[in-house]
Structure 1
Amino acid sequence: MTRRGPIVAGLMLSTALAAMDGTIVATAVPAIVRDLGSFSLFPWVLAAYMLAQAVFTPIYGRLADVYGRKPVLLAGASIFLAGSLLAGVAWSMPALIVARAVQGVGAGAIQPITQTIAGDLYPLARRGRISALLSTVWGVSALLGPALGGLLSEFGLWRWIFLLNLPVGIAALVMITVFLRESVERRPGRLDLLGGALLCAGVVAVMTGLQSSDWRAVLAGLALLAAFLRWERHVPEPVIPPWIWRDRALLGSFLGSAAVGMVLIAPTLYLPVYAQTVLGAGAVAAGAVLAVQSIGWPLAAAGAHRLYMRYGFRDTALAGLALIVVSTVMFALLTPASPLVYAGACAFVNGAGLGLVSVSCLVGAQSMVGWERRGAVTGGVVFFRIAGGAIGTAVFAAVANASLLSSGAVASVDEVGGALDLAAGEAVRAALAAAVHHVFLTMIVVAVLGVLAVLVMPSRRETAEGGGEAGDVVPAD
């Protein structure tokens, strides 16, 4: 194995940890609540992780450009492992929520910096393959998370959901520490603390406002983000450099990544529910239907480099979005009489489209800048994908909840879970089928908006693959 091999292995382990911890807790709800209580607070166990990760992603991306990739990744992974230890020994639900927030702070470094290092290690022609590999690790880990979490919880071992991160994470840290070397030209500068605070406050306010339908919080968050953008124009070392927003190629990549996050979250949340409650599939079969999406994604991502090297990043992303539009129409045509295989076909086409868009947007953004700016743009792409998923969660939940309430089958959305366990729950099942159908219709709108967003990108553009003099990442001898 070449010297790049251990580095890539360390990046894969780091990516798997961050991806799995975003989903592994969902199936552990009963066991955790039984031990710690406070069921009403449990949603914050998921939200705290996601919000912290989203907020700190662009900050780490900027730090990686100033101080180098290796120290930032090691610091983020160490914070993540500290949060994992705290979560594993949590004595109350508030303590677990705080620990999850600490994990999210560390996870904010993992995905953008691993992708940035991959961009540093490989030339443009091979970058799509390594990005596809890391995307595959992310997708498979995210899908395995719920199964592993349920298995551990069933045997009363939910704390090991977090404690198992420690040996795996330490192994990743050792590989990166030993085998990754980089020479970085340190540039004088100060961390933009006020800008980071404005970004944190704005993102948290917008995301929590959307999830709770508190529009005053959303407006307050937008005002804070506007203040953040204004402030960033006047500081020497901004968290998100203003030049990013003036570049059509980068803006298109960011908006395309946001569309990926939104389109990804809808089938993740609602396809297993539809398969089980409407199509009558078992839990394992329903999970397999969604897992087909993780097959289409890496297959398409692995071949994306051939398309963007020949046709360009924008046209490759548009081809992926075309597949996504087709998949959303297929989802919308699902009926209670549809075979389970058809639902799997919908997921496969959707995954293939997501694979093309995600790789072309990421590698396209990285290729437009040199080493000294690659961390910032990679952090931007990942941030928009996470933010798109969070916004999509709120939007699709609002659509589904409104549809359920308008059906008259339930007086409140909380009744759905209990009603589905009853033998005479056909009215609720029909209402749920209609609600998921409306979610899939909304996916079509999101996919079309994604096409319009990517059209912002220029069709052809010279890349900026120079700029390696400031700092090169190389395998250790």
Structure 2
Amino acid sequence: MSQGKTKKTFVLAAVMLSMFMSAVEATIVSTAMPSIVSDLGGFSLYSWVFSSYLLMQVATILIYGKIADLVGRKPVFVVGVSIFLLGSLLCGFATSMEMLILFRFIQGFGAGAVMPIATTIVGDIYTKEERASIQGYLSSVWGISAVLGPVLGGVFVKYVSWVYVFWMNIPLGILAIIGVILFLHEDVEKKKHTIDYPGSILLVIFISALMLVLVEGGVHWAWNSWQIISLLLLFSVGIILFILQEKKAVEPMMPFHIWKYRAISISNLASFTTGIIMMGVSSFLPAFVQGVMEESPMIAGFTLTTMSIGWPIASAIAGKMVINIGYRKLTVTGGFALIIGSLIFVTLSPEKGPIWAALGSFFIGFGMGLTTTSFIVSIQSTVGWNVRGIATAANMFMRTLGSAVGAAFLGGLLNSRLQSFIMKQGLEDTITLETANSLLNEGQRDQLVQSTKSILQEGLTMSLHTVYWGVLIIAILTLALVFFMPETEEKIS
């Protein structure tokens, strides 16, 4: 890295813009989803708007990192952000849920480069001593984006159009690209790298098969149908071949040898489960607040914003206390906070109102802040410089994979439970999953026959309670996992 020519302040600003763009994506789209569904239809495809994005992101994170080592950070960053912006532009032009999902695939394909390469650039241009203070700036991006995301989503939906949820990325991304092109200067060392293409292909195959099973199982395909059985077989064969490939690859996408250290294996497994929990809250809470509580998109956004307030507060606490208290005590405390938040969501009802939902979000955010910060510190303290990048990327991969699986699994659970409820009422001829679209639009909701609206709201409430029971079980599993965290790091030689 030719640091003399690199203007650090401008590069940092560009990197922070790209991180804001990527970080805000989850909450702003979640807030806008009820309006998007009421406009485009396709309630049964609700979870695929998140799953498609996350699938491509999780499948490309590690390979982008490998290519960045080969050709430099700048070209990979520029290409990744450009693909992300193309997907964002197309999402605004979608006229059906199927089109939106296709364009979200494109957006996710670019998103795989944004966060890991941005983080790597910061590591390249700052010294070890400087990074500590810079982390404060980077953490503030997450806090600000998470607070602004739901608010911006609510404002766009209420006063302009949901398309600007996607189009707001375009000026931010262009500024980030210009900043990196003009002010980041690299001297790339010529090194021969072996990119694990077979591993990335197998990864996409087995993740796609798993997500199709989770989303469509019990909804469009019976659990014992040939489609589900075939996909489960494809998943099983794919994951076995992936593991075999990674063991023999020169530079594997997933370095399994570092998993023998408890700090890493427990952190990665718990990151996977917390990824599921985060999606369970952010993906489906706005549908409950708007569809059942009949509140506005702005209020729905507020119930998610409190998660974003709890997260940076807990992260700041964890950053100051982790060395003195140790990893286990902090992560166990975070695990209990996740369980408290999940219990609040299990007891959620229209009568309790959005304040109760916001309280549950706060506890989830607080638990996420304590656990995720502790995980990153423990991993980076355990490994040496030569594997720190791979170990950090693997943890990011596991959290993103958890989010992808969570969106698919919990979305499938929601659809399956709602369809089962409709069938038990004997109304499958007059009410379908798509009828639930009407609940998410105030005008369409007011036009529903009262009996139909009541049945739909009861069914959605019951279905979302099932989702939150699933979130509670995952939170309990997370707490059980973090009890095995070491108090201090185990150094890899």
The residue identity in structure 2 corresponding to 1:265 is: M
Taking structure 1 as the reference length, the TM-score comes to 0.82
Given that residues 128 and 302 in structure 1 are in contact (C-alpha distance below 8 angstroms), is that contact kept between their aligned partners in structure 2? no
Equivalent of 1:435 in 463, 477, 483: 463
Task: State the alpha-carbon separation in 1 of the partners of residues 267 and 413 from structure 2.
Answer: 27
Residue of structure 2 in register with 1:422 after alignment = 449
Q: Does 1:14 align with 2:34?
A: no
Count, aligned residues? 458
Given that residues 151 and 298 in structure 2 are in contact (C-alpha distance below 8 angstroms), is that contact kept between their aligned partners in structure 1? no
Is the alpha carbon distance of 1:263 and 1:369 closer, same or farther for their aligned partners in structure 2, counting shifts above 3 Å? same
Residue 73 of structure 1 aligns to a residue whose secondary structure is: helix
Is the alpha carbon distance of 1:455 and 1:101 closer, same or farther for their aligned partners in structure 2, counting shifts above 3 Å? same
User: What displacement does 1:131 show?
Assistant: 5.0
Is the alpha carbon distance of 1:9 and 1:95 closer, same or farther for their aligned partners in structure 2, counting shifts above 3 Å? same
Given that residues 209 and 217 in structure 1 are in contact (C-alpha distance below 8 angstroms), is that contact kept between their aligned partners in structure 2? yes
Given that residues 68 and 117 in structure 2 are in contact (C-alpha distance below 8 angstroms), is that contact kept between their aligned partners in structure 1? yes
Deviates more, 1:214-223 or 1:197-206: 214-223
Residue 191 of structure 1 aligns to a residue whose secondary structure is: coil
Task: State the alpha-carbon separation in 2 of the partners of residues 9 and 231 from structure 1.
Answer: 39
Residue of structure 2 in register with 1:382 after alignment = 396
The residue identity in structure 1 corresponding to 2:449 is: L
Residue 188 of structure 1 aligns to a residue whose secondary structure is: coil
The residue identity in structure 1 corresponding to 2:153 is: P
Given that residues 265 and 389 in structure 1 are in contact (C-alpha distance below 8 angstroms), is that contact kept between their aligned partners in structure 2? yes
Aligned pairs for 1:138-177 (under 5 A) are 138-140=145-147, 142-144=149-151, 146-147=153-154, 150=157, 154=161, 158=163, 162-177=166-181
Is the alpha carbon distance of 1:81 and 1:211 closer, same or farther for their aligned partners in structure 2, counting shifts above 3 Å? same
Given that residues 74 and 173 in structure 1 are in contact (C-alpha distance below 8 angstroms), is that contact kept between their aligned partners in structure 2? yes
Given that residues 62 and 375 in structure 1 are in contact (C-alpha distance below 8 angstroms), is that contact kept between their aligned partners in structure 2? no
Is the alpha carbon distance of 1:141 and 1:77 closer, same or farther for their aligned partners in structure 2, counting shifts above 3 Å? farther
Is the alpha carbon distance of 1:403 and 1:193 closer, same or farther for their aligned partners in structure 2, counting shifts above 3 Å? closer
User: What displacement does 1:451 show?
Assistant: 1.9
Q: Does 1:204 align with 2:208?
A: yes
Taking structure 2 as the reference length, the TM-score comes to 0.80
Task: State the alpha-carbon separation in 1 of the partners of residues 415 and 97 from structure 2.
Answer: 27
User: What displacement does 1:227 show?
Assistant: 0.5
Given that residues 295 and 351 in structure 1 are in contact (C-alpha distance below 8 angstroms), is that contact kept between their aligned partners in structure 2? yes
Deviates more, 1:204-213 or 1:38-47: 38-47
C-alpha RMSD of matched pairs (Å): 3.5
Residue of structure 2 in register with 1:113 after alignment = 117
Residue of structure 1 in register with 2:65 after alignment = 61
Equivalent of 2:140 in 128, 133, 137: 133
The residue identity in structure 1 corresponding to 2:481 is: A
Q: Does 1:346 align with 2:360?
A: yes
Residue 488 of structure 2 aligns to a residue whose secondary structure is: coil
Is the alpha carbon distance of 1:44 and 1:327 closer, same or farther for their aligned partners in structure 2, counting shifts above 3 Å? closer
Task: State the alpha-carbon separation in 2 of the partners of residues 343 and 78 from structure 1.
Answer: 37
Equivalent of 1:272 in 286, 290, 293: 286
Q: Does 1:452 align with 2:480?
A: yes
Given that residues 79 and 105 in structure 1 are in contact (C-alpha distance below 8 angstroms), is that contact kept between their aligned partners in structure 2? yes
Is the alpha carbon distance of 1:148 and 1:380 closer, same or farther for their aligned partners in structure 2, counting shifts above 3 Å? farther
Deviations 1:376-425 (A, max 9, x none): 22322222222212222233234334443454345343343447643233
Is the alpha carbon distance of 1:3 and 1:366 closer, same or farther for their aligned partners in structure 2, counting shifts above 3 Å? farther
The residue identity in structure 2 corresponding to 1:205 is: A
Task: State the alpha-carbon separation in 2 of the partners of residues 332 and 282 from structure 1.
Answer: 22
Task: State the alpha-carbon separation in 2 of the partners of residues 278 and 99 from structure 1.
Answer: 29
Task: State the alpha-carbon separation in 2 of the partners of residues 149 and 142 from structure 1.
Answer: 11
Q: Does 1:327 align with 2:341?
A: yes
Is the alpha carbon distance of 1:252 and 1:64 closer, same or farther for their aligned partners in structure 2, counting shifts above 3 Å? farther
Is the alpha carbon distance of 1:42 and 1:307 closer, same or farther for their aligned partners in structure 2, counting shifts above 3 Å? closer
Given that residues 128 and 305 in structure 1 are in contact (C-alpha distance below 8 angstroms), is that contact kept between their aligned partners in structure 2? no
Residue 233 of structure 1 aligns to a residue whose secondary structure is: helix
The residue identity in structure 1 corresponding to 2:286 is: P
Given that residues 125 and 309 in structure 1 are in contact (C-alpha distance below 8 angstroms), is that contact kept between their aligned partners in structure 2? no
User: What displacement does 1:66 show?
Assistant: 5.0
Is the alpha carbon distance of 1:343 and 1:39 closer, same or farther for their aligned partners in structure 2, counting shifts above 3 Å? closer
User: What displacement does 1:161 show?
Assistant: 5.2
Unaligned runs of at least 5 residues, structure 1: 467-477
Residue 109 of structure 2 aligns to a residue whose secondary structure is: helix
Task: State the alpha-carbon separation in 2 of the partners of residues 49 and 40 from structure 1.
Answer: 17
Unaligned runs of at least 5 residues, structure 2: 1-5, 218-227, 440-444
User: What displacement does 1:14 show?
Assistant: 0.6
Given that residues 404 and 435 in structure 1 are in contact (C-alpha distance below 8 angstroms), is that contact kept between their aligned partners in structure 2? yes
Residue of structure 1 in register with 2:304 after alignment = 290
User: What displacement does 1:108 show?
Assistant: 0.3
Residue of structure 1 in register with 2:252 after alignment = 238
Given that residues 191 and 237 in structure 1 are in contact (C-alpha distance below 8 angstroms), is that contact kept between their aligned partners in structure 2? yes
Is the alpha carbon distance of 1:343 and 1:248 closer, same or farther for their aligned partners in structure 2, counting shifts above 3 Å? same
Equivalent of 1:359 in 373, 378, 398: 373
User: What displacement does 1:338 show?
Assistant: 1.9
Equivalent of 2:273 in 254, 259, 270: 259
Q: Does 1:29 align with 2:36?
A: yes
Is the alpha carbon distance of 1:222 and 1:113 closer, same or farther for their aligned partners in structure 2, counting shifts above 3 Å? farther
Task: State the alpha-carbon separation in 2 of the partners of residues 41 and 87 from structure 1.
Answer: 15
Task: State the alpha-carbon separation in 2 of the partners of residues 27 and 239 from structure 1.
Answer: 36
Residue 237 of structure 1 aligns to a residue whose secondary structure is: coil
